[in-house]
């Protein structure tokens, strides 16, 4: 009896599928939601990793802060931002002594805070990475066009980084002190869960370094751990500026 090569190939493929599929299904059944950790695809890791992006952002942030010179009236700043390719996606505060903008350019977002003197001229300009973002800012970061914000919308004040930073800094310090040095990777997975944090993304993971995005309530942190001989030698807890989609979903859900 003669067998056509293509028929043999199809038969082997079908047999392989029958053997592999049940194993995959069984493995999936054993993993509970609590045990699953979102992992960013390799091509996305540099996009979501704060450590990988920090240098570029620091350069752009410092340049923007220099170009947004002091001594100008309020109307100067939206125009200057627009001329530099930034969209003002949200105004979180607008008072006689200060204004706070969320701005987006490409995949980067900053919070611009301008303080004014009694004559209405800017005496101080601060540009910082934008951590707590309005829906308009998130939409712009996804690549969609949004109208330029012209006034404070109801609820925007809740997204002010400056207003939330004190509480956030206190939680950051507490988390950093709780994550002890000299531990293996499994310890940090367990400890974060014990402290009520959800690991929403793993942006990098090898034998010498692991980087988590974690969420608790409406706050998110990036936990960066350096290892030596499988034991941690350094733990950093920092702002989570480049948030994965899973992190944004978790933060949005926790606010409801």
CA torsion 64→70→73→74, rounded to 10°? 40
pLDDT band at 55 (very low <50, low <70, confident <90, very high): low
What domain range includes position 182?
42-47+165-254
Tell me: do 150 and 181 sit in the same domain: no
* 170 or 51, higher pLDDT: 170
Find, among 120, 130, 119, the residue nearest to 64 by Cα. 130
Tell me: do 110 and 171 sit in the same domain: no
242 touches 130 (CB < 8 A): no
Tell me: do 72 and 155 sit in the same domain: yes
15 within a domain of the structure (yes/no): no
pLDDT band at 16 (very low <50, low <70, confident <90, very high): very low
Q: Which of 106, 129, 159 is the last residue of a domain?
A: 159
Tell me: do 153 and 170 sit in the same domain: no
pLDDT above 50: residue 11 = no
37 within a domain of the structure (yes/no): no
Q: Which of 98, 130, 159 is the last residue of a domain?
A: 159
29 within a domain of the structure (yes/no): no
Tell me: do 155 and 175 sit in the same domain: no
Tell me: do 178 and 148 sit in the same domain: no
Convert the pLDDT of each residue in 91-116 to its tens digit: 999 999 999 999 999 989 999 999 99
pLDDT band at 131 (very low <50, low <70, confident <90, very high): confident
pLDDT band at 162 (very low <50, low <70, confident <90, very high): confident
Domain count, the chain: 2
Q: Which of 111, 144, 159 is the last residue of a domain?
A: 159
Tell me: do 184 and 224 sit in the same domain: yes
Provide CB contacts within 8 A for 189, sequence distance 6+.
37, 199
pTM of the model: 0.64
Tell me: do 83 and 111 sit in the same domain: yes
Tell me: do 169 and 231 sit in the same domain: yes
3-state secondary structure labels for all residues of 145-196: CCCCCCCCCCCHHHHCHHHHHHHHHHHHHHHHHHCCCCCCHHHHHHHHHHCC
For position 103, which CATH number holds?
3.10.450
4 within a domain of the structure (yes/no): no
Average pLDDT for residues 52-71, to the nearest whole number?
Answer: 83
């Amino acid at each position: 009896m003669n067998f056509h090569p293509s028929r043999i190939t199809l038969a082997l493929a079908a047999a392989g599928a029958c053997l592999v599929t049940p194993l995959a299904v069984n493995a999936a059944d054993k993993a509970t939601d609590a045990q699953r950790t979102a992992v960013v695809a390799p091509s996305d890791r540099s996009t979501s990793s704060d450590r990988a992006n920090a240098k570029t952002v620091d350069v752009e942030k410092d340049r923007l802060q220099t170009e947004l010179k002091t001594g100008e009236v309020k109307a100067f700043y939206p125009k200057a931002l627009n001329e530099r390719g930034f969209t003002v996606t949200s105004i979180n505060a607008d008072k006689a002594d200060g204004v706070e903008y969320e701005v987006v350019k490409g995949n980067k977002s900053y919070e611009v805070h301008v303080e004014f003197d009694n004559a209405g001229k800017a005496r101080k300009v601060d540009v910082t990475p934008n951590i707590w973002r309005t829906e308009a800012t998130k939409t712009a970061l996804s690549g969609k066009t949004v109208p330029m914000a012209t006034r404070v919308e109801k609820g925007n004040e809740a997204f002010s980084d400056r207003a939330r930073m004190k509480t956030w800094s206190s939680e950051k310090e507490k988390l950093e002190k709780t994550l002890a040095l000299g531990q293996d990777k499994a310890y940090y997975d367990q400890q974060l869960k014990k402290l009520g944090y959800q690991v929403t993304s793993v942006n990098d993971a090898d034998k010498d370094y692991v980087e988590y995005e974690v969420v608790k309530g409406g706050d998110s942190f990036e936990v960066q751990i350096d290892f030596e001989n499988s034991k941690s030698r350094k733990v950093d807890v920092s702002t989570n500026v480049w948030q994965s989609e899973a992190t944004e979903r978790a933060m949005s859900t926790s606010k409801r």
